[in-house]
Amino acid sequence: MAADERQAIRSTPNGSRSAAPTLDQVAEHAGVSRSTASRAINGGLRVSPEAQTSVDAAVVDLGYIPNRAARSLVTRRTSSVALVVPEPDERVLSDPV
């Protein structure tokens, strides 16, 4: 499967389904490289104001929403917090009568 075929599917307001825009499409629309688009979206420091403006406009025009699952795979961080609450064994593992 080619990289451009591996797009997420999203629902549109009228209920139809369309492919979600990719980072590559945002970069192409903005006229910048993929890495520049990524840095602009993620708040990188080494992005010119012109590039930042064009990437921001491309994000709005295309309706790009970063994929949080993909981000967590790359960064190895989920930004999630787990809460463990102990329960007595009798409540969970009681014998049926």
Tell me the CATH number at 31. 1.10.260.40
> Does 78 map to a domain?
yes
Through-space distance between the first and last CA atoms of the chain, rounded to whole angstroms? 55
Rounded mean pLDDT of the chain? 81
> Does 82 map to a domain?
yes
> Does 75 map to a domain?
yes
Q: DSSP secondary-structure letter at 52? A: H
Q: How confident is the model at residue 6 (pLDDT cuts 50, 70, 90)?
A: very low
> Does 28 map to a domain?
yes
Domain boundaries, position 10: 3-92
pTM: 0.62
pLDDT tens digits, 14-35:
555 568 899 999 999 999 999 9
Share of the chain above pLDDT 70, in %: 72
Structural element, H or E, at residue 84:
none
> Domains in the chain: how many in total?
1
